[in-house]
Amino acid sequence: MVKSKTIYECEHCGTQYAKWQGKCDTCAAWESISEVRVSPKANRNDHLTPVQELKSLHDSANQKFERMTTGLEEFDRVIGGGFVPGSLVLIGGQPGIGKSTLLLQISGLLAAQNQTVLYFSGEESLHQVADRANRLGAAENHLKFANEQIVENIQAAVEKFKPTAVIVDSIQTAYSERSDNIPGSISQIRESAEILMRSAKRTNTVFILVGHITKDGFLAGPKMLEHVVDTVLYLEGDRQNQFRMLRAVKNRFGSTHELGVFEMGERGLTVVKNPSELFLGNRALDVSGTAITSHLEGSRSFLVEVQALVSSAVYGNPQRNVTGYDLRRLSMLLAVLDRRLGFGMGTQDVFVNVVGGLRLEETAVDLGILMAVLSSLKDIPIDPHTVIIGEVGLGGEVRGVSHLRQRLAEARKLDFRTVVCPSVNQKDLSNLKGIQIAPVKTVSDALKLLF
Protein backbone atom coordinates (compact mmCIF):
# COMPACT_ATOMS: atom_id res chain seq x y z
CA MET A 1 0.00 0.00 0.00
CA VAL A 2 1.28 3.48 -0.82
CA LYS A 3 1.38 5.61 2.31
CA SER A 4 0.35 9.24 2.19
CA LYS A 5 3.03 11.62 3.39
CA THR A 6 2.90 14.81 5.38
CA ILE A 7 4.35 18.07 4.09
CA TYR A 8 3.95 21.73 5.08
CA GLU A 9 2.80 24.42 2.70
CA CYS A 10 2.57 28.21 2.86
CA GLU A 11 -1.02 29.31 2.26
CA HIS A 12 0.17 32.55 0.71
CA CYS A 13 2.78 31.54 -1.84
CA GLY A 14 2.58 27.76 -1.99
CA THR A 15 6.17 27.07 -0.95
CA GLN A 16 6.52 23.59 0.47
CA TYR A 17 8.57 22.56 3.48
CA ALA A 18 9.48 19.21 4.97
CA LYS A 19 9.17 20.60 8.51
CA TRP A 20 6.87 23.12 10.09
CA GLN A 21 8.26 26.62 10.62
CA GLY A 22 6.74 29.86 11.87
CA LYS A 23 7.70 32.15 9.01
CA CYS A 24 7.71 31.51 5.26
CA ASP A 25 11.18 31.97 3.79
CA THR A 26 9.77 32.99 0.43
CA CYS A 27 7.01 35.49 1.17
CA ALA A 28 8.03 36.26 4.75
CA ALA A 29 4.49 35.72 6.04
CA TRP A 30 4.09 34.64 9.64
CA GLU A 31 1.89 31.70 10.75
CA SER A 32 0.89 30.98 7.17
CA ILE A 33 2.33 27.46 7.02
CA SER A 34 0.03 24.49 7.59
CA GLU A 35 0.18 20.73 7.40
CA VAL A 36 -1.03 18.93 4.22
CA ARG A 37 -1.22 15.21 3.53
CA VAL A 38 -0.47 14.15 0.02
CA SER A 39 -0.68 10.77 -1.57
CA PRO A 40 2.56 10.29 -3.50
CA LYS A 41 0.55 8.72 -6.35
CA ALA A 42 -1.65 11.80 -6.75
CA ASN A 43 1.44 13.92 -6.64
CA ARG A 44 2.93 12.11 -9.63
CA ASN A 45 -0.07 12.64 -11.87
CA ASP A 46 1.77 15.08 -14.08
CA HIS A 47 4.42 12.52 -14.95
CA LEU A 48 2.19 9.66 -16.06
CA THR A 49 3.40 8.19 -19.29
CA PRO A 50 1.15 5.91 -21.25
CA VAL A 51 2.46 2.47 -22.33
CA GLN A 52 4.15 2.75 -25.68
CA GLU A 53 1.55 0.94 -27.66
CA LEU A 54 -1.53 -1.12 -26.94
CA LYS A 55 -2.01 -4.17 -29.10
CA SER A 56 -5.27 -5.90 -29.82
CA LEU A 57 -5.31 -9.48 -28.57
CA HIS A 58 -7.55 -10.32 -31.46
CA ASP A 59 -4.98 -9.21 -34.01
CA SER A 60 -2.09 -10.75 -32.16
CA ALA A 61 -3.79 -14.09 -31.49
CA ASN A 62 -3.12 -15.42 -34.96
CA GLN A 63 0.48 -14.37 -35.09
CA LYS A 64 2.49 -17.52 -34.50
CA PHE A 65 5.88 -17.47 -32.79
CA GLU A 66 8.68 -17.86 -35.26
CA ARG A 67 9.83 -21.21 -34.03
CA MET A 68 13.23 -22.63 -34.72
CA THR A 69 13.18 -26.35 -35.39
CA THR A 70 16.15 -28.59 -34.83
CA GLY A 71 15.07 -31.26 -37.27
CA LEU A 72 15.07 -33.86 -34.51
CA GLU A 73 11.32 -34.25 -34.70
CA GLU A 74 10.86 -36.02 -31.41
CA PHE A 75 12.63 -33.17 -29.64
CA ASP A 76 10.83 -30.41 -31.52
CA ARG A 77 7.47 -31.94 -30.66
CA VAL A 78 8.23 -32.05 -26.92
CA ILE A 79 9.22 -28.37 -26.83
CA GLY A 80 6.03 -27.43 -28.64
CA GLY A 81 7.17 -27.35 -32.28
CA GLY A 82 10.62 -25.80 -32.02
CA PHE A 83 12.46 -23.24 -29.90
CA VAL A 84 10.91 -19.82 -29.42
CA PRO A 85 13.61 -17.12 -29.80
CA GLY A 86 14.42 -15.39 -26.53
CA SER A 87 13.25 -18.31 -24.43
CA LEU A 88 15.07 -19.90 -21.55
CA VAL A 89 14.89 -23.69 -21.42
CA LEU A 90 16.03 -25.82 -18.52
CA ILE A 91 16.81 -29.47 -19.08
CA GLY A 92 17.02 -31.58 -15.96
CA GLY A 93 18.09 -35.14 -15.44
CA GLN A 94 20.32 -37.36 -13.34
CA PRO A 95 24.04 -37.24 -13.98
CA GLY A 96 25.00 -39.55 -16.83
CA ILE A 97 21.51 -39.80 -18.29
CA GLY A 98 22.50 -38.04 -21.53
CA LYS A 99 21.76 -34.31 -21.17
CA SER A 100 25.09 -33.18 -22.60
CA THR A 101 24.81 -35.73 -25.36
CA LEU A 102 21.33 -34.56 -26.35
CA LEU A 103 22.32 -30.89 -26.28
CA LEU A 104 25.44 -31.49 -28.30
CA GLN A 105 23.34 -33.25 -30.92
CA ILE A 106 20.78 -30.44 -30.93
CA SER A 107 23.57 -27.85 -31.19
CA GLY A 108 25.11 -29.74 -34.10
CA LEU A 109 21.77 -29.85 -35.92
CA LEU A 110 21.22 -26.11 -35.48
CA ALA A 111 24.79 -25.31 -36.52
CA ALA A 112 24.35 -27.45 -39.62
CA GLN A 113 21.57 -25.01 -40.57
CA ASN A 114 24.14 -22.20 -40.38
CA GLN A 115 22.91 -21.01 -37.01
CA THR A 116 25.64 -19.96 -34.62
CA VAL A 117 25.52 -21.95 -31.41
CA LEU A 118 27.73 -21.27 -28.39
CA TYR A 119 28.31 -24.20 -26.08
CA PHE A 120 29.64 -23.29 -22.64
CA SER A 121 30.67 -26.11 -20.42
CA GLY A 122 31.81 -25.71 -16.86
CA GLU A 123 32.23 -29.43 -16.54
CA GLU A 124 34.08 -30.71 -19.56
CA SER A 125 37.15 -29.64 -21.50
CA LEU A 126 37.33 -28.68 -25.17
CA HIS A 127 39.04 -31.96 -25.91
CA GLN A 128 36.32 -34.06 -24.30
CA VAL A 129 33.48 -32.20 -25.96
CA ALA A 130 35.15 -32.05 -29.38
CA ASP A 131 35.82 -35.75 -29.25
CA ARG A 132 32.21 -36.50 -28.42
CA ALA A 133 30.91 -34.04 -31.02
CA ASN A 134 32.99 -35.84 -33.58
CA ARG A 135 31.49 -39.18 -32.65
CA LEU A 136 27.98 -37.75 -32.73
CA GLY A 137 28.50 -36.07 -36.09
CA ALA A 138 27.94 -32.69 -34.43
CA ALA A 139 31.35 -31.12 -35.03
CA GLU A 140 30.04 -28.23 -37.11
CA ASN A 141 31.83 -25.03 -37.96
CA HIS A 142 29.10 -22.82 -36.51
CA LEU A 143 29.19 -24.63 -33.21
CA LYS A 144 31.63 -22.87 -30.89
CA PHE A 145 32.83 -24.08 -27.55
CA ALA A 146 34.29 -22.50 -24.44
CA ASN A 147 35.06 -23.88 -21.05
CA GLU A 148 33.40 -21.06 -19.17
CA GLN A 149 31.53 -20.75 -15.90
CA ILE A 150 31.23 -17.00 -15.37
CA VAL A 151 27.85 -15.75 -16.51
CA GLU A 152 29.10 -12.21 -17.22
CA ASN A 153 31.58 -13.67 -19.72
CA ILE A 154 28.84 -15.74 -21.29
CA GLN A 155 26.67 -12.63 -21.49
CA ALA A 156 29.48 -10.68 -23.17
CA ALA A 157 30.10 -13.47 -25.67
CA VAL A 158 26.41 -13.46 -26.56
CA GLU A 159 26.50 -9.71 -27.22
CA LYS A 160 29.60 -10.10 -29.35
CA PHE A 161 28.90 -13.21 -31.43
CA LYS A 162 25.08 -12.88 -31.62
CA PRO A 163 24.37 -16.61 -31.60
CA THR A 164 20.96 -18.16 -32.22
CA ALA A 165 21.31 -20.51 -29.29
CA VAL A 166 23.47 -20.79 -26.19
CA ILE A 167 24.02 -23.90 -24.11
CA VAL A 168 25.10 -23.56 -20.48
CA ASP A 169 26.23 -26.93 -19.13
CA SER A 170 25.50 -26.80 -16.24
CA ILE A 171 23.70 -24.08 -14.27
CA GLN A 172 25.12 -25.62 -11.09
CA THR A 173 28.67 -24.78 -12.18
CA ALA A 174 27.81 -21.31 -13.51
CA TYR A 175 28.38 -18.30 -11.26
CA SER A 176 28.29 -14.54 -11.30
CA GLU A 177 31.48 -12.68 -10.50
CA ARG A 178 29.48 -9.81 -9.08
CA SER A 179 27.81 -11.93 -6.50
CA ASP A 180 29.12 -12.55 -3.02
CA ASN A 181 27.48 -15.93 -2.81
CA ILE A 182 29.45 -19.15 -3.09
CA PRO A 183 29.41 -20.82 -6.54
CA GLY A 184 27.01 -23.74 -6.53
CA SER A 185 24.89 -22.26 -3.75
CA ILE A 186 21.19 -21.80 -4.25
CA SER A 187 21.41 -18.02 -4.38
CA GLN A 188 24.23 -18.23 -6.94
CA ILE A 189 22.22 -20.55 -9.17
CA ARG A 190 19.23 -18.22 -8.98
CA GLU A 191 21.28 -15.12 -9.70
CA SER A 192 23.04 -16.78 -12.62
CA ALA A 193 19.74 -17.96 -14.10
CA GLU A 194 18.26 -14.49 -13.78
CA ILE A 195 21.23 -12.88 -15.49
CA LEU A 196 21.02 -15.39 -18.34
CA MET A 197 17.25 -14.85 -18.56
CA ARG A 198 17.73 -11.13 -19.05
CA SER A 199 20.39 -11.80 -21.66
CA ALA A 200 18.02 -14.18 -23.50
CA LYS A 201 15.18 -11.65 -23.53
CA ARG A 202 17.35 -8.72 -24.54
CA THR A 203 19.16 -10.45 -27.38
CA ASN A 204 16.31 -12.75 -28.45
CA THR A 205 18.61 -15.73 -28.09
CA VAL A 206 17.53 -19.22 -27.02
CA PHE A 207 19.29 -20.26 -23.83
CA ILE A 208 19.36 -23.88 -22.79
CA LEU A 209 20.54 -24.57 -19.28
CA VAL A 210 21.47 -27.99 -17.98
CA GLY A 211 20.37 -28.75 -14.42
CA HIS A 212 21.41 -31.88 -12.57
CA ILE A 213 18.80 -33.51 -10.46
CA THR A 214 19.29 -35.51 -7.32
CA LYS A 215 18.30 -39.14 -6.89
CA ASP A 216 14.88 -38.11 -5.57
CA GLY A 217 14.15 -36.34 -8.81
CA PHE A 218 14.51 -32.76 -7.64
CA LEU A 219 16.59 -30.21 -9.41
CA ALA A 220 19.73 -29.85 -7.40
CA GLY A 221 19.26 -26.22 -6.59
CA PRO A 222 16.14 -24.37 -5.87
CA LYS A 223 12.78 -25.40 -7.16
CA MET A 224 12.41 -21.74 -7.99
CA LEU A 225 14.74 -22.23 -10.93
CA GLU A 226 11.71 -23.79 -12.58
CA HIS A 227 9.80 -20.55 -12.02
CA VAL A 228 12.48 -18.41 -13.61
CA VAL A 229 12.67 -20.29 -16.91
CA ASP A 230 10.09 -20.58 -19.71
CA THR A 231 10.36 -24.29 -20.32
CA VAL A 232 11.43 -27.19 -18.12
CA LEU A 233 12.33 -30.48 -19.74
CA TYR A 234 13.27 -33.69 -17.99
CA LEU A 235 15.35 -36.43 -19.50
CA GLU A 236 14.59 -39.65 -17.70
CA GLY A 237 15.16 -43.35 -17.94
CA ASP A 238 17.04 -46.18 -16.38
CA ARG A 239 20.75 -45.83 -16.78
CA GLN A 240 20.87 -49.60 -17.00
CA ASN A 241 18.77 -49.77 -20.13
CA GLN A 242 18.99 -47.75 -23.29
CA PHE A 243 15.65 -45.92 -23.31
CA ARG A 244 15.44 -42.23 -22.54
CA MET A 245 12.24 -40.30 -22.15
CA LEU A 246 12.10 -36.56 -22.66
CA ARG A 247 9.11 -34.71 -21.32
CA ALA A 248 8.17 -31.10 -20.73
CA VAL A 249 6.94 -30.43 -17.21
CA LYS A 250 6.49 -26.73 -17.79
CA ASN A 251 6.13 -24.92 -21.09
CA ARG A 252 5.10 -21.31 -21.55
CA PHE A 253 5.05 -21.92 -25.30
CA GLY A 254 3.37 -25.27 -25.68
CA SER A 255 1.74 -28.24 -24.04
CA THR A 256 3.31 -30.35 -21.34
CA HIS A 257 1.77 -33.61 -22.44
CA GLU A 258 4.18 -34.70 -25.10
CA LEU A 259 6.70 -37.43 -24.51
CA GLY A 260 9.75 -38.08 -26.65
CA VAL A 261 11.27 -41.54 -26.62
CA PHE A 262 14.92 -42.05 -27.49
CA GLU A 263 17.42 -44.80 -27.41
CA MET A 264 21.00 -44.25 -26.27
CA GLY A 265 23.42 -45.93 -28.59
CA GLU A 266 26.91 -45.66 -30.00
CA ARG A 267 26.05 -42.49 -31.84
CA GLY A 268 24.12 -40.75 -29.11
CA LEU A 269 20.36 -40.55 -28.86
CA THR A 270 18.21 -41.80 -31.68
CA VAL A 271 14.47 -41.49 -31.98
CA VAL A 272 12.40 -44.55 -31.19
CA LYS A 273 9.72 -44.70 -33.85
CA ASN A 274 7.65 -47.42 -32.30
CA PRO A 275 8.06 -47.35 -28.54
CA SER A 276 5.55 -50.10 -27.79
CA GLU A 277 7.62 -52.65 -29.66
CA LEU A 278 10.63 -51.71 -27.59
CA PHE A 279 8.82 -51.65 -24.29
CA LEU A 280 7.41 -55.09 -24.97
CA GLY A 281 10.60 -56.37 -26.55
CA ASN A 282 12.00 -58.79 -23.98
CA ARG A 283 8.96 -59.84 -22.13
CA ALA A 284 8.63 -63.32 -20.77
CA LEU A 285 5.39 -64.96 -21.82
CA ASP A 286 3.46 -67.28 -19.52
CA VAL A 287 4.90 -65.86 -16.34
CA SER A 288 2.58 -64.84 -13.54
CA GLY A 289 2.62 -61.26 -12.33
CA THR A 290 2.87 -59.42 -15.62
CA ALA A 291 0.21 -57.53 -17.53
CA ILE A 292 0.13 -55.32 -20.60
CA THR A 293 -1.61 -52.01 -20.30
CA SER A 294 -1.95 -48.88 -22.36
CA HIS A 295 -0.48 -45.52 -21.56
CA LEU A 296 -1.34 -42.33 -23.36
CA GLU A 297 0.97 -39.35 -23.28
CA GLY A 298 0.22 -36.32 -25.42
CA SER A 299 -0.58 -37.48 -28.87
CA ARG A 300 0.95 -40.92 -28.48
CA SER A 301 -0.22 -44.13 -26.97
CA PHE A 302 2.09 -46.90 -25.88
CA LEU A 303 1.62 -50.41 -24.69
CA VAL A 304 3.69 -51.16 -21.65
CA GLU A 305 4.40 -54.15 -19.51
CA VAL A 306 3.84 -53.89 -15.77
CA GLN A 307 5.26 -56.47 -13.41
CA ALA A 308 4.22 -57.31 -9.90
CA LEU A 309 5.59 -59.62 -7.29
CA VAL A 310 3.58 -60.48 -4.21
CA SER A 311 5.09 -62.50 -1.41
CA SER A 312 4.32 -63.11 2.26
CA ALA A 313 5.79 -60.47 4.48
CA VAL A 314 8.39 -61.93 6.77
CA TYR A 315 8.29 -59.16 9.32
CA GLY A 316 5.34 -57.27 10.71
CA ASN A 317 5.36 -54.35 8.32
CA PRO A 318 4.60 -55.37 4.73
CA GLN A 319 6.72 -53.64 2.09
CA ARG A 320 5.38 -51.72 -0.86
CA ASN A 321 7.96 -50.95 -3.46
CA VAL A 322 7.17 -49.37 -6.77
CA THR A 323 9.12 -48.11 -9.79
CA GLY A 324 7.40 -46.06 -12.47
CA TYR A 325 4.03 -45.68 -10.76
CA ASP A 326 2.67 -43.68 -7.84
CA LEU A 327 3.13 -45.41 -4.49
CA ARG A 328 0.00 -43.87 -3.01
CA ARG A 329 -2.04 -44.98 -5.97
CA LEU A 330 -0.69 -48.51 -5.51
CA SER A 331 -1.75 -48.41 -1.85
CA MET A 332 -5.22 -47.41 -3.00
CA LEU A 333 -5.37 -50.34 -5.43
CA LEU A 334 -4.24 -52.73 -2.69
CA ALA A 335 -6.92 -51.35 -0.38
CA VAL A 336 -9.50 -52.04 -3.10
CA LEU A 337 -8.23 -55.62 -3.38
CA ASP A 338 -8.44 -55.94 0.37
CA ARG A 339 -11.84 -54.43 0.99
CA ARG A 340 -13.77 -55.08 -2.23
CA LEU A 341 -12.39 -58.46 -3.24
CA GLY A 342 -11.43 -59.83 0.15
CA PHE A 343 -7.76 -60.54 -0.53
CA GLY A 344 -5.78 -59.99 2.66
CA MET A 345 -3.02 -57.72 1.42
CA GLY A 346 -1.96 -56.65 4.93
CA THR A 347 0.40 -59.63 5.24
CA GLN A 348 1.90 -59.40 1.76
CA ASP A 349 4.95 -57.59 0.39
CA VAL A 350 4.11 -56.03 -2.96
CA PHE A 351 6.66 -54.96 -5.58
CA VAL A 352 5.59 -53.25 -8.78
CA ASN A 353 7.80 -52.33 -11.72
CA VAL A 354 7.02 -50.63 -15.01
CA VAL A 355 9.29 -52.11 -17.66
CA GLY A 356 11.54 -49.88 -19.74
CA GLY A 357 11.97 -47.02 -17.26
CA LEU A 358 8.68 -45.40 -18.20
CA ARG A 359 6.82 -43.45 -15.53
CA LEU A 360 3.06 -43.99 -15.69
CA GLU A 361 1.02 -41.09 -14.44
CA GLU A 362 -2.22 -41.91 -16.13
CA THR A 363 -5.02 -43.61 -14.19
CA ALA A 364 -5.96 -45.75 -17.21
CA VAL A 365 -3.17 -48.13 -16.18
CA ASP A 366 -4.76 -48.88 -12.77
CA LEU A 367 -6.61 -52.01 -13.85
CA GLY A 368 -3.53 -53.43 -15.56
CA ILE A 369 -1.45 -52.94 -12.43
CA LEU A 370 -4.12 -54.40 -10.21
CA MET A 371 -4.40 -57.47 -12.44
CA ALA A 372 -0.61 -57.92 -12.48
CA VAL A 373 -0.72 -57.93 -8.66
CA LEU A 374 -3.57 -60.46 -8.67
CA SER A 375 -1.77 -62.61 -11.22
CA SER A 376 1.26 -62.79 -8.95
CA LEU A 377 -0.86 -63.39 -5.86
CA LYS A 378 -2.69 -66.27 -7.51
CA ASP A 379 0.38 -67.36 -9.46
CA ILE A 380 -1.67 -67.61 -12.65
CA PRO A 381 -0.30 -65.93 -15.80
CA ILE A 382 -2.53 -63.58 -17.77
CA ASP A 383 -3.03 -64.47 -21.44
CA PRO A 384 -0.08 -62.70 -23.15
CA HIS A 385 -2.23 -61.45 -26.02
CA THR A 386 -4.46 -59.40 -23.76
CA VAL A 387 -4.27 -55.68 -23.01
CA ILE A 388 -5.92 -54.40 -19.84
CA ILE A 389 -7.19 -50.83 -19.67
CA GLY A 390 -9.24 -48.97 -17.08
CA GLU A 391 -9.20 -46.63 -14.12
CA VAL A 392 -10.07 -48.19 -10.78
CA GLY A 393 -12.37 -46.36 -8.38
CA LEU A 394 -12.54 -46.72 -4.62
CA GLY A 395 -15.73 -48.75 -4.91
CA GLY A 396 -13.96 -51.35 -7.03
CA GLU A 397 -15.66 -50.05 -10.17
CA VAL A 398 -13.81 -49.76 -13.47
CA ARG A 399 -14.11 -46.24 -14.79
CA GLY A 400 -13.88 -44.97 -18.33
CA VAL A 401 -10.69 -43.79 -20.02
CA SER A 402 -10.00 -41.26 -22.76
CA HIS A 403 -9.06 -42.03 -26.36
CA LEU A 404 -9.86 -45.71 -26.19
CA ARG A 405 -9.94 -46.03 -29.96
CA GLN A 406 -6.40 -44.79 -30.30
CA ARG A 407 -5.25 -47.24 -27.64
CA LEU A 408 -7.00 -50.10 -29.38
CA ALA A 409 -5.42 -49.19 -32.69
CA GLU A 410 -2.00 -49.56 -31.08
CA ALA A 411 -2.98 -52.93 -29.59
CA ARG A 412 -4.22 -54.16 -32.95
CA LYS A 413 -1.08 -53.02 -34.70
CA LEU A 414 0.98 -55.17 -32.36
CA ASP A 415 -1.22 -58.23 -32.82
CA PHE A 416 -2.94 -58.28 -29.48
CA ARG A 417 -6.19 -60.22 -29.60
CA THR A 418 -8.24 -59.13 -26.63
CA VAL A 419 -8.68 -55.83 -24.84
CA VAL A 420 -10.22 -55.70 -21.39
CA CYS A 421 -11.71 -52.24 -21.10
CA PRO A 422 -14.31 -50.27 -19.14
CA SER A 423 -17.85 -51.09 -20.20
CA VAL A 424 -18.76 -47.38 -20.08
CA ASN A 425 -16.45 -46.90 -23.05
CA GLN A 426 -18.24 -49.53 -25.10
CA LYS A 427 -20.33 -47.03 -27.02
CA ASP A 428 -17.15 -45.57 -28.59
CA LEU A 429 -16.24 -48.93 -30.02
CA SER A 430 -18.70 -49.73 -32.76
CA ASN A 431 -17.34 -51.31 -35.99
CA LEU A 432 -14.05 -52.31 -34.53
CA LYS A 433 -12.50 -55.12 -36.49
CA GLY A 434 -9.66 -57.48 -35.75
CA ILE A 435 -9.69 -57.24 -31.99
CA GLN A 436 -11.97 -58.64 -29.35
CA ILE A 437 -13.40 -56.34 -26.72
CA ALA A 438 -14.05 -57.61 -23.21
CA PRO A 439 -15.98 -54.92 -21.35
CA VAL A 440 -15.88 -54.93 -17.55
CA LYS A 441 -17.86 -52.92 -15.00
CA THR A 442 -15.93 -53.85 -11.88
CA VAL A 443 -12.58 -55.17 -10.75
CA SER A 444 -14.37 -58.38 -9.84
CA ASP A 445 -15.62 -58.76 -13.46
CA ALA A 446 -12.02 -58.49 -14.66
CA LEU A 447 -10.91 -61.04 -12.08
CA LYS A 448 -13.51 -63.56 -13.29
CA LEU A 449 -12.59 -62.92 -16.91
CA LEU A 450 -8.85 -63.28 -16.58
CA PHE A 451 -8.32 -66.00 -13.98
Give the residue with the Cβ less far from ligand TYD, 69 or 270: 270
Report the partner that residue 96 touches, choosing among Mg ion, ligand TYD, none (CB closer than 5 to 8 A by kind).
ligand TYD
**In the bound complex, what is the minimum distance in angstroms from residue 47's beta carbon to ligand TYD?**
51
Per CB under 6 A, the segment of 98-106, 150-158, 192-200, 395-403 that binds ligand TYD is: 98-106
State the SS3 of the chain.
Answer: CCCCEEEEEECCCCCEECCCCCECCCCCCECCEEEEEECHHHHCHHHCCCCCCCCCHHHHHCCCCCCECCCCHHHHHHCCCCECCCCEEEEEECCCCCHHHHHHHHHHHHHHCCCCEEEEECCCCHHHHHHHHHHHCCCCCCEEEECCCEHHHHHHHHHHHCCCEEEEECCCCCECCCCCCCCCCHHHHHHHHHHHHHHHHHHCCEEEEEEEECCCCCECCCCCHHHHCCEEEEEECCCCCCEEEEEEEEECCCCCCCEEEEEEECCEEEECCCHHHHHCCCCCCCCCCEEEEEEEECCEEEEEEEEEEEEECCCCCCCEEEECCCHHHHHHHHHHHHHHCCCCHHHEEEEEEECCCCCCCCHHHHHHHHHHHHHHHHCCCCCCCEEECCEECCCCEEECCCCHHHHHHHHHHCCCCEEEEEHHHHHHHCCCCCCEEEEECEHHHHHHHHC
Considering only residues 220 to 249 of the shown chain, the ones binding Mg ion according to CB under 5 A are: none
Contact with ligand TYD (CB under 6 A) among 101, 172, 199, 307? 101
Q: How far is the CB of 194 from ligand TYD (least distance, A)?
A: 23
Q: Which does 72 bind (CB under 5 to 8 A by kind): Mg ion, ligand TYD, none?
A: none
CB of 124 to ligand TYD, least distance (A): 8
* Residue 77 or 212 with smaller CB distance to Mg ion: 212
Nearest-approach distance from CB 97 to Mg ion, in angstroms: 9
**Choice between 23 and 267, CB closer to Mg ion:** 267
Which CB sits closer to ligand TYD, 90 or 450? Answer: 90
Interface stretch with ligand TYD, choices 20-28, 174-182, 261-269, 383-391 (CB under 6 A): 261-269
Q: How far is the CB of 275 from ligand TYD (least distance, A)?
A: 19
Among the listed residues 80, 82, 98, 368, the single contact to ligand TYD using CB under 6 A: 98
Residues 58-97, one symbol each (x = binds ligand TYD by CB under 6 A, - = not), give -----------------------------------x-xxx
- State the nearest-atom distance from the C-beta of 146 to ligand TYD, in Å: 17
Kindly tell me which of 5 and 239 has the beta carbon lying closer to ligand TYD.
239
Q: Which of 87, 100, 294, 348 binds Mg ion (CB under 5 A)?
A: 100
Residue 268 interacts with ligand TYD (CB under 6 A): yes or no? yes
Residues that bind ligand TYD (CB under 6 A): 93, 95-101, 132, 135-136, 264, 266-268
Residues that bind Mg ion (CB under 5 A): 100
